[in-house]
Amino acid sequence: MEIISADNEVIAEIKALQKIPFGNKIALCDIAHAEHINKCGHSIGKSIIEIPLGQLVHVQNVRSERLDIPESIIEEIIKQMGIEQ
By the 8 A CB rule, do 47 and 62 touch? yes
Task: Specify the pTM.
Answer: 0.83
Class of domain 2-81: mainly beta
pLDDT at 84 > cutoff 80: no
Q: What pLDDT sits at residue 58? A: 94
CA angle (54 as vertex; 83, 68 as ends), nearest 5: 50
Residue 52 DSSP code: -
Per-residue pLDDT tens over the stretch 27-74: 999 999 999 999 888 999 999 999 999 999 999 999 998 889 999 999
Q: What pLDDT sits at residue 24? A: 92
